[in-house]
Amino acid sequence: MALLALWQALVWATGVPPFILPGPARVGAALVGHAGMLAEHARFTLGNLAAGLLAGVALGIVTALNLALSPLARAMMRPMLVLAQAIPVFALAPVVTLWLGYGPASKVVMVALVVYFPVASVLFDALMRPPPALEDLARAMGATPLRLLWLIQLPNALPALGSGLRLAAVYAPFAVIVGEWVGSSRGLGYLMLMANGRGQTDLMFAALALLAAMGLVLFGLAGALQRLTERRRAKGAGPRRLI
């Protein structure tokens, strides 16, 4: 709230024209005035964001589990993963748009690509590092590889997966906007470009505000998930003194 006041004060004090920096009051008015249109574009963006996140996280988890379980998969996929990580995924946006068109598919794929690598690599690293004492225990007890993965490696890696999800939540909104900037006929990113071109700076800021809100909610959700995985652990690992 203080930030909004400061913003308004800055606008008044400097007398910046509204097409450079609209005050919060104008942005609020644009939010209300164009509510219907903003909602429609926001729905498009949010849908692609959610679909891409789900697909990227799911694929990342499946990849990490497979790599952890199979030395053959590790030998085959590791060079590919290293290569794939060396390419900045955002640079792929024009290619993805070329192949998949202006519709939702290219945005979903962009988000999934950006989310996939941090989730897969963070989870895989954690899966491959079970505590040596537990590894010994499992070996002495004659554990099967699948059971070892499910009962020891995966629970041990859950906090790392939580951090991976937080990273994903940070990157995903970038990816969806870049996807829309490169080529789209709908979405908040598209709307921003349009508003910018027509000098409707207040509308552009309104779209930006919605994007920021989406990012914050996403980050909050990922943080909640991460705390959940860590509490599960903390309850066991450390002394329970608080509460």
CB of 229 to other proteins, least distance (A): 10
Residue of the chain from 50, 58, 77, 143 that contacts other proteins (CB under 8 A): 143
When the beta carbons of 43 and 139 are compared against other proteins, the nearer one is 139
Distances (CA, A) of 223 to 151, 164, 169, 174, 226: 24, 10, 9, 18, 5
Residue 204 backbone class (left: φ over 0; alpha: ψ -120 to 50; beta: rest): alpha
CB of 76 to other proteins, least distance (A): 23
Only segment of 15-23, 104-112, 144-152, 176-184 that touches other proteins (CB under 8 A):
144-152
Cβ neighbours, 10 Å, residue 78 = 12
When the beta carbons of 78 and 147 are compared against other proteins, the nearer one is 147
Residue of the chain from 10, 99, 101, 136 that contacts other proteins (CB under 8 A): 136
Assess contact for 134 and 157: CB atoms under 8 A: no
Measured distance CA(195)–CA(189) in Å, rounded: 10
When the beta carbons of 8 and 156 are compared against other proteins, the nearer one is 156
CB of 147 to other proteins, least distance (A): 5
Map the footprint of other proteins across residues 207-236, applying CB under 8 A: 232-236
Map the footprint of other proteins across residues 151-180, applying CB under 8 A: 151-152, 155-156, 158
Residue of the chain from 43, 139, 198, 227 that contacts other proteins (CB under 8 A): 139
CB of 154 to other proteins, least distance (A): 10
197 contributes a contact to other proteins by CB under 8 A: no
Only segment of 72-80, 89-97, 143-151, 202-210 that touches other proteins (CB under 8 A):
143-151
Residues that bind other proteins (CB under 8 A): 132-134, 136-144, 146-148, 151-152, 155-156, 158, 232-240
